[in-house]
Structure 1
Amino acid sequence: MQETEQSEKDMIGSLLDEDESKCSEFRSSITKSQQHSQSQSPVKSFKDLKEAKEIPLLLDDAGQQEFPSNDPNNFYFTVQSAFIQQRQHSLSHEFHQYMVPQPPLYYPCQDGFFSQKRTKKLQSSADSEQTISQQCQDQYASLNIQQSFIQGNDFQKDKIFKALIEDLPLLAKHKFGNYVIQKIIENSNQNIRTLIFEQLHPFIIEMCYDKFGCRVIQRLLEFIQNHQKIQLIQSIKSQVLNLIFDQCGNHVIQKIIDLASDAEFIIDIVTNNVDHIVSHSYGCRIAQKCLEIFPNQKLQQLYISLIPLCEKLSFCQYGNYIVQHMINQGPPKGLEVIGKYIKARILEVSQDKYASIVAQKYITVANDDDIASICKILINDYYPPMLLILINNQFGNYVMQNFYQKCNDKQKQSIQIQINKFEDHQFTQFGRHFLQFLARCHAC
């Protein structure tokens, strides 16, 4: 009973405190309205209320009354529990579904999950009136064409290729079209590859300098026959030196060195221009590729040209890679020359950003006599000793770590005695790195 009175008081509000007669009339009207509402079909959801148009859902005018009528007989419309619940809990499931847009759906595709927008674009691109060549220049349609060519039968592949053959030079240099040409080269027979080569041959040099065209040329070199490779090389032979210094063209030269059997002429070009090539950001990669691929008997002239330059190249940002390769795989004469100037300039070499890497590489392959010579140079009576200078250097401390690992027990003991002569405040942050390295070595 108390709960009923409390609910009535909450519903009626201040009327209970003003006039008891008005409250009794109002209470009787509510009772009648509840009896009438039980005879009607219940409203199941907020959506049903909207469809029934029994009450206004949204107020277009700020001054409009929220309830349809002030008549107490119609009050059951305004106090329906379902409506009040929806108004109080506006983020309920049905209301949220009605008001808030849903996130985009994702549909599976053969090469991953595409968004709804991308999937529709793929479907519309395939059904559009554009030609296949024009579709290859679209980001999403080109993917569709690539999949169609890979998974299609011979008839479908021929149809796609015949539609593209006239526009091959244009598509090979296109941002998206070049991928279509590459897939056709990979997944077609030798006859189609021959037709592609013949169609692109007049534009070989132009494509080698192109950001996307050079990729098509590299793919051609992987799949065409040997006589076609020779023909391609002859077409670009006059431009090899310029291609070596080009950001895109040097990749074509690297692919020729990797795949072509008749590429020894590149060694002569590198040998004649060794000073410029090995110190260039792109040219040094060509020199490295020659040293990696060709046997030593074909590289004798190149080694003869490189040995006098090793000391200079050690301090070069790109040339140091050539010196490192000569330490690992070069002739004994080259290793001897490199070791001679490293021992003579150990303090200067070890403190340089690039030459310190060469020094570390040399120490890893040095014999016991070379290690003993370096140890004798580092442990001296000068103040401060070279050992302390290198330990406190940001590059030299790495050289000393490698050197310490190559020393024998007696040499290690001499290094520790030399270090113990100095206090902790005489070591920089790099010197402390070396001390931590020594602690790890003793802990093992």
Structure 2
Amino acid sequence: MNESLGNNVSWVNNNVNVNGNGNGNGRRSPHWFDDFRGRVYSLAKDQHGSRILQEVIKKFGSEGVSYIFSELVNHVTELMIDPFGNYVVQKMVEICNEDQQTRIVLMVTYHSFQLIRICLSPHGSRAVEKLLENVTTREQRTLIMAALSPGAIALSKDINGHRVVLHCLKNFTHEDTKQFLNVVASNSLAIARDKTGCCVLQHCVNHAQGETRNQLIDDIVLNSSLLAEDCYGNYVVQHLLSLKMPRITDNLVRELERQFVYLACNKYGSNVVEKFIQDSGELQSARVILELLADPNVARLLVDPYGNYVIQSALTASKGPIRNAILDLIQRNSQMMRNNVYGKKLLDRFDKGKVRHNI
């Protein structure tokens, strides 16, 4: 590498060394970039060359970028997904001025789905994250979000793409992300039932405002019966309950009414029922528990692998007549419970002092 770069630039102790002009005053030669000229693109895609360019940018700041930028800007979309080139782009966008940033944004958003493709790449997502942290104008943000919005579903469900989505939510205003959030709201069921998507959707709920937020929440509530028993979707329903907003809680209770016993016996739905009991407030918690107690098959919850935990939560959260009704239910079915592994555990727990001689 030293030989190929000529006399002005060398690689010393893993750092780039731009030599002086030989007059002893310590000033670098005005021709120091001559050894790079016409070769910046190929250097950016080389492991050692990438490190040299990063060091040049670090040492010389905007002056270094001004030389490098012109040779890289037309290749920026390719470099962003390159294992070595992406680091040069990341370092460059930290120093670029507003016009240079705009040119990069225009390059990555020029073709349909180009930016989405970059975001789905492990290297590209890192480069785009760095770009998002450094864009400065409304025009730049608008271009980026317009390019990302058609891929909202794919990005939200992708292990790399979702990082970019979270960065947008973190660094951009609601107004900047409104178009993207509207697409998410229209496809919340598909996103909520995905391992990565369910996390993104919770962040979207927190970030959205006004009518967009209402639309997003209403769509989740509408699909709550499907989401509650889904291995990932249940977390989204629980997140809405954790907001502790009476309107949202009321709507969820109405949507899931007459399904609570069924959900209590579901591996994932039982978590939602417990969340209702613990976080929905005294009135709605009592409403859910009373629905459980009124069901003809409520006794099966006592011996169900998941339902028994719902009963435990109900007993902890309730008081007065409702608590007494739960204790009576356990007492009437104690013999059956002793012959079942889950029922026996429930009895053992309360025999150790929580219910004592009530059973």
TM-score (normalizing by structure 1): 0.57
1:223: which partner in 2?
134
Shift of 1:371: 4.1
Q: Say if 2:117 is the partner of 1:209.
A: yes
- Structure 2 residue 185 is matched with structure 1 residue 185: no
Greater CA radius of gyration, 1 or 2? 1
Aligned to 2:250: 336
In the alignment, the residues of structure 2 paired with residue 396 and residue 140 of structure 1 have an alpha-carbon distance, to the nearest angstrom, of: 60
**Alignment equivalent of 1:428, drawn from 314, 326, 341:** 341
User: Following the alignment from structure 1 to structure 2, what is the Cα–Cα distance between the partners of residues 144 and 430?
Assistant: 68
CA-CA distance at 1:174 after TM superposition: 0.6
Q: Are the structure 2 counterparts of residues 431 and 371 from structure 1 closer, same or farther at C-alpha, using a change threshold of 3 Å?
A: farther
Determine if the alignment matches structure 1 residue 406 to structure 2 residue 317: yes
Equivalenced residues, count: 319
Secondary structure at the residue paired with 1:175? Answer: coil
Counterpart code for 2:57:
F
Aligned-pair CA distance for 1:381: 11
Is 2:274 aligned against 1:357?
no
Equivalent position of 1:300 in the other structure: 214
Change (3 A) 1:214 1:299: same
- SS of 1:178's partner is helix
Structure 1 residues 292 and 384: alpha-carbon distance in aligned structure 2, compared to 1, 3 A threshold: closer
- Runs of 5+ unmatched residues, structure 1: 1-120
Return the offset for 1:349. 0.8
Q: Displacement of 1:172 after TM fit?
A: 0.9
- For the 8 Å contact 1:122–1:144, the answer to whether it is kept is no
TM-score of the superposition, structure 2-length normalised?
0.68
In 2 relative to 1, CA 298–191 (structure 1 residues): closer, same or farther, beyond 3 Å?
Answer: closer
Contact 1:137/1:174, CA 8 A, preserved across alignment: yes
Structure 2 runs not aligned, ≥5 long: 1-10, 18-34
Q: Secondary structure at the match of 1:174?
A: coil
Distance of 2:288 and 2:149 partners within structure 1: 47
User: Aligned in 2, Cα 1:371/1:161: closer, same or farther, shift over 3 Å?
Assistant: closer
Residue identity over aligned pairs, in percent, reads: 21
8 Å CA contact 1:137–1:177 kept in 2: the answer is yes
After superposition, the Cα gap between the structure-2 partners of 1:366 and 1:383, relative to the gap in structure 1 and judged at 3 Å, is: closer
Counterpart contact for 1:311–1:338, Cα < 8 Å? no
Contact 1:378 1:385 in 2 (8 A): no
The CA deviation at 1:213 is 2.2
1:232 aligns with one of 127, 144, 151: 144
Matches within 5 A, 1:122-137: 123=13, 131-137=39-45
Higher RCO by CA contacts (8 Å cutoff, separation 6 or greater): 2
- Does the 8 Å CA contact 1:350/1:396 hold for their aligned counterparts? yes
SS of the residue 2:261 aligns to? helix
Structural RMSD (CA): 4.2
Shift of the alpha carbon at 1:254?
4.5
Q: In structure 1, what is the Cα distance between the partners aligned to 2:238 and 2:337?
A: 35
User: In structure 1, what is the equivalent of residue 202 of structure 2?
Assistant: 288
Distance (whole Å) between structure 1 residues aligned to residue 336 and residue 219 of structure 2:
48
